[in-house]
Each structure stands twice: as C-alpha cells, then as structure tokens.
Amino acid sequence: MPASPTVISTLRLVPFFAALPDSDLERLASTARQKKCAKHTVIMSQGDDTDSLSLYIIASGRIKVGISDEEGKEVILSILGPGQFFGEMSLVDDHPRSANIETMEASEFVVVNKEDFKRFLSQNFDMALSFMKELVRRLREADKKIESLALMDVYGRVARVLLDMAEETVDGRLMIKRRLTKQDIARMIGASREMVSRVMKDLVEMNHVSFHGSVIVLNDNLAESTR
Ligand code: CMP
C-alpha cells in the first residue's frame, strides 16, 4: 500500500527519519499507522510492558511526559509537540515504559512499530547517528533540569522553564503562545502552584514577563535574571 503523504511529512519532521533516503522513508511510512487521541488521553503509563512495541511521532497537538507516585503526585519531565517523538526508550532496551504520556490537547500521531524501526536503524548509519544525537540532546536537557532543581531558587527555575518553552517570533521576541498553566509550571519545577503564582506576579511587576490574554511574552531581562 502506498504511504500516506501526511505520514511521510510527519516522519520528515524528525531529524533521524529525515536522514533516510526518500525511498526508505516511503517504505517505512507505508508500514506506519496514524492514531488520533482526544485531550487528556493516557497513551502509555509508567511501568507498562504491554505496549512496548511502538515509537510515536507527534503530528499535531501536545503531550506531557510525567512520572507520578501512588498518591497521584506528578512531576512533568517534558512537554512535547509536533515533530517530536516518544516511546523510544522501551523500544531500545525492552524495559517497561519509563513515564506516563498524556495528551494536553487533541493530538495526532504516527506510530512506527519496533521491528520496522530497528530494521531501518540497523541498515542506515546516518539514521542511527542522528537518533543518538537526539538521545544525547535529551540527556543534555535532563542535565540542565537537574542543575536548575539543585542550584536555582524557584525564581530561577520558573524563568528557566519559561525560556525553554518560548518560541522566537519573526521580530525576535520570545513568547509562549500555547497554553501553559501555573499548575503545569509547578509540576515541572517541583514547587507548589501558589508559589509559582507568587513568582509570576513578581516577574510581571519587575517587567520580566507580560501577559497578553493567554500569551506570555518574555522580556530580554528575564534571561539576564537567570545568569
Ligand atoms: P518509554 O520509556 O518507552 O515510554 C515513556 C517515554 O517518555 C520514554 O520512552 C521517552 O520517550 C519519554 N521520556 C522519558 N523521560 C523523558 C524526558 N526526561 N524527556 C523527554 N521524554 C522523556
């Protein structure tokens, strides 16, 4: 069956799939499937070993990667959007899923099964190298988070999350356009929602950030405040 153009274009968003020659990418795409999920769908849970056979690529929407304790207290490890992927860890080491994945909005995915992924990986050194680079990038991000949790106060941690989540607009301004609640920020930095509210209020008063409806605009002095 010929591959769907949507599946091909979604796979091309991921650097390690983009490293494949077109004919290989199309062959891989023809074996992948598409999946749609409503907001707040739990796609995988920490400890699952039943669905350890697929790699998910986000075509649209947003998901959060989290871990939680028995009382339901949650830490958000990352928020991922279009062109990003998840599920690679269990696929590589055959261990149970390391985290919970839940959609934050209605989302669409391309799902690649483990055997196909591993076959293409083993046959393409450029793809394997690009995949390793992506894993190393995630490790660097995790190191940055450990650093901010261990060495920064709550102001620094909030500022770090805002800077990490921001996108640069054409005129060079940093903005967070997608909805990011104080509760989400609190769960990303291990603080209470009340504390995050207080810090955000101070950041607005100090003119480090401003709100335009639900859009958060970061001012140049915010980055300086974390140094
Ligand atoms: P896996 O363990 O198969 O299932 C849960 C997924 O969450 C995991 O693969 C990764 O894709 C993703 N994940 C786990 N930890 C992180 C992290 N720190 N940053 C981004 N994604 C992560």
Separation of CA 40 and ligand 1 centre (Å):
18
Do 104 and 175 fall into the same domain?
Answer: no
Q: What is the pLDDT of residue 203?
A: 93
Same domain, 50 and 144: yes
Q: Is 61 helix (H, G, I), strand (E, B) or coil?
A: coil
Q: Which of 148, 178, 208 is the last residue of a domain?
A: 148
Residues 166 and 195 grouped into a single domain: yes
Give the residue whose CA is nearest to atom 22 of ligand 1: 65
pLDDT (0 to 100) of residue 52: 59
For the whole prediction, is pTM greater than 0.85? Answer: yes
Closest CA to 159 of 205, 81, 66, 221: 221
Q: Are 51 and 4 in contact (CB under 8 A)?
A: no
Q: Verify whether ligand 1 is closer than 6 Å to residue 43 (CB atom).
A: no
Q: Which of 49, 58, 98, 164 to mutate to test the pocket of ligand 1 (most atoms within 8 A of CB)?
A: 98
| CB of 99 closer than 6 angstroms to any ligand 1 atom | yes
Kindly report the CATH number assigned to the domain that includes residue 211: 1.10.10.10
User: Where a domain ends, among 85, 120, 148?
Assistant: 148
Strand residues in the chain grouped as ranges (E): 33-37, 42-44, 54-60, 63-68, 74-80, 85-86, 100-103, 107-113, 167-168, 174-176, 209-212, 215-218
Instruction: Give yes or no for residue 138 CB within 6 A of ligand 1.
Output: yes
**CATH code, domain carrying 35:** 2.60.120.10
Do 170 and 194 lie in a common domain? yes
Domain check: are 23 and 96 in the same one?
Answer: yes
Ligand 1 pocket: which of 43, 44, 56, 78 to mutate (most atoms <8 Å of CB)? Answer: 78
* Ligand 1 atom 9 nearest Cα: 87
Collect the ranges in the chain with pLDDT lower than 70: 50-52, 225-227
Do 174 and 139 share a structural domain? no
Q: Are 111 and 35 in contact (CB under 8 A)?
A: yes
> How far, in Å, is the centroid of ligand 1 from the Cα of 3?
27
How confident is the model at residue 50, as a pLDDT? 67
Residues 127 and 144 in one domain: yes
Structurally, how many domains does the chain consist of?
2
> How far is 64 from 66, CA to CA, in rounded Å?
6
Q: Decide whether any atom of ligand 1 lies within 6 Å of the 98 Cβ.
A: yes
pLDDT of 51 = 58
Phi, psi of 166 (to 5 degrees): -75, 150
15 and 120 assigned to the same domain: yes
Nearest of 209, 222, 190, 191 to residue 77 by alpha carbon: 190
Asked if residue 42 and residue 75 are part of one domain, the reply reads: yes
My answer on whether 71 and 91 are in the same domain is: yes
Last residue of a domain, one of 108, 133, 148: 148
Ligand 1 atom having least distance to the Cα of 142: 18
DSSP H stretches of helix in 22-124: 22-31, 88-93, 114-123
Tell me the pLDDT tens digit for each residue of 138-176. 999 999 989 888 888 999 999 999 999 999 988 888 999
* 157 and 94 co-located in one domain: no
Containing structural domain, residue 76: 5-148
* Ligand 1 atom closest to the CA of 85, numbered from 1: 11
Closest ligand 1 atom, residue 96 Cα: 2
Residues 211 and 115 both lie in one domain: no
